[in-house]
Amino acid sequence: MSEPLIEGKDIVKYLGTGPGQVQALRSVTLSVSGGELVLLMGPSGSGKTTLLSVLGCMLTPNSGTVRIRGQSTQGLRPEQLTDLRRQHIGFIFQTYHLFPTLTAVENVRLALEMGGERPWNAQARAVTALETVSLGHKINSFPRQLSSGEQQRVAIARAIVGKPAAILADEPTAALDSANGHAIMSVLANVAKDSAHAVLVVTHDPRVIPFADRILHMEDGRLVEKEQSATILRLHERS
């Protein structure tokens, strides 16, 4: 396994203001290395999505440090955080956020063009990314012509097309049936085999456990448990 590609140390995050303010994260420390797929599990409201947003430079921690490929985000201006996020982080969400009037390849290509990629290069890279998720035959299909699983694969292609260091996925299988969920996690597991990528998945879905290299568990804004997936699988087999 390679060096950590995304790290958080002693992360504290408050949400809201005044009497309604809550402490969403309580001194959270974790790292995800290249070539690793890590699951972040826990009940609703435990801070999983907030942690993902902080690690993805969408939220700024009140205290603590975040490092992406060794670069600290501390003190960076908003535009610098945007550049760091665009260059090194790919997001995958439960809802696919595809533009309905764009084809699959156009949805993926747009992510590159917004970063300044020339159109002809962006087209070729977008096609390659769609082929990586086994959608090479659907590059000219619109979202309405794709199944839910296929739309999520387009979203994955969009997340990986820029070759980011960290892939952050928030409940990527929640809206999918078992077969499509399995296919999506297979794609993410293949991405994680490359030491240039670290994959962190927030999930409630126990069906995805076999794909994990590690499982982290959150409660009340804290990491409370760290278990190897193989250990958990053995416990499941005995039950």
- Answer with the residue of higher pLDDT: 115 or 149: 149
pTM summary value = 0.89
Mean per-residue pLDDT for 129-148?
A: 95
Task: List the domain range (segments joined by +) for residue 68.
Answer: 4-95+166-238
> What is the SS3 assignment for 113?
helix
- pLDDT at residue 90 is higher than 90: yes
Among the residue ranges 85-89, 143-147, 222-226, the one predicted with the least confidence is 222-226
| Residues present in the chain in total | 239
pLDDT digits (tens, 9 = 90+) for 53-89: 999 999 999 999 999 999 999 989 989 998 899 889 9
How far apart are alpha carbons 199 and 239 in whole angstroms? 29
Amino acid at 160: I
Mean per-residue pLDDT, 171-179? 89
HSE-up of residue 13 (Cα within 13 Å, Cβ side): 28
Query: What's the CATH code of the domain at 39?
Result: 3.40.50.300
Predicted local distance difference test score (pLDDT) of residue 231: 54
- Domain assignment present for 195: yes
Domain contains 48: yes
Domain count, the chain: 1
Does 12 map to a domain?
yes
14 has a pLDDT exceeding 90: yes
52 touches 170 (CB < 8 A): yes
**Residue 76: inside a domain, yes or no?**
yes
Helix (H, G, I), strand (E, B) or coil at 197: coil
Q: Is residue 142 part of a domain?
A: no
> Within a 10 A sphere around the Cβ of 6, how many other Cβ atoms?
26
Instruction: Evaluate the CA torsion angle 100, 109, 187, 142 in order and state its sign.
Output: positive
d(CA 179, CA 184): 9
Residue 16 lies in a domain: yes
**pLDDT tier at 122, thresholds 50, 70, 90:** very high
